[in-house]
A = this chain, B = another copy of it.
Amino acid sequence: MSIDFTILGILSYKPLTGYDLKKIIQDTSFMPWSGNNNQIYKALLELSKKGYVTSQVMHQEQSPSKKIYTVTGAGLSALGEWSKATPEVFESKKPFLLQLAWSDLLNRDELAKLFNSYEEEITGQLLMEKAKQKEGFFSKGRTKRETKIWSLINTNIISTYEHELDWIKQAGKELLS
């Protein structure tokens, strides 16, 4: 569902091709899609049918032809409506908690190894996120307020991983000391 609004949102920033959208979605961590083609091209077709986007074919000599998609007035107002809707609460889906739940089967060393590898994974993820944000699409907005909003989003993501890191460190101390 919301991949539609994600696409409309990105296009509201500027007209882009499906390929461009794919790249943005792929390396924006708070967009929960693989960014692989099937969905994007399918969604663009549907959005066209609904009149939320229009496309223009650009022939290029060197590269293959592009379809540049532009959001319409109807698309923008649909996006605005969606923005105002009551937000859903996220569900905390952490596969690690599931794994941890039955880890009393493991001995002390195995448990310690599990905790260490999770800590390493999170640390790595945190570094990646920080790197991404420097060059990512969501660094500088069109208005001051948008820049501020995007900075809040980035803060949320980073601090979520930092919070998890704190938790796993504390948990390790409590369990393994």
Task: Count identical subunits in the complex.
Answer: 2
Is A45 located at the chain interface by the 8 A CB criterion? no
How near does chain B come to A167, taking the closest CB pair, in angstroms? 5
How near does chain B come to A101, taking the closest CB pair, in angstroms? 6
> A152 — which chain B residues lie within 8 A by C-beta?
100, 171, 174-175
Pick the contact of A157: B29, B92, B117, B163 (CB < 8 A). B92
> A167 — which chain B residues lie within 8 A by C-beta?
155-156, 159
How near does chain B come to A41, taking the closest CB pair, in angstroms? 20
Instruction: Give me the interface of A with B, judged by CB distance under 8 Å.
Output: 2, 5-6, 8-9, 12, 29-32, 76, 79-80, 82-106, 110, 113-114, 117-118, 121-122, 124-125, 138, 141-143, 145-146, 148-150, 152-153, 155-157, 159-161, 163-164, 167, 171, 174-175
> A80 — which chain B residues lie within 8 A by C-beta?
105-106
Pick the contact of A122: B2, B89, B124, B156 (CB < 8 A). B89
> A9 — which chain B residues lie within 8 A by C-beta?
98, 101-102
Inter-chain contact A104/B160, CB cutoff 8 Å: no
Pick the contact of A153: B89, B101, B150 (CB < 8 A). B101
Q: With A9-B101, A31-B98, A160-B163 known to touch, is A121 a contact of B83 (CB < 8 Å)?
A: no
Inter-chain contact B99/A82, CB cutoff 8 Å: yes
How near does chain B come to A172, taking the closest CB pair, in angstroms? 10
User: Told that A83-B102, A88-B96, A97-B157 touch, could you supply 16 new A-B pairs with CB distance under 8 A?
Assistant: A8-B102, A9-B98, A12-B105, A84-B113, A86-B117, A86-B121, A87-B117, A90-B92, A90-B94, A94-B156, A97-B153, A97-B156, A101-B138, A104-B141, A152-B174, A160-B160
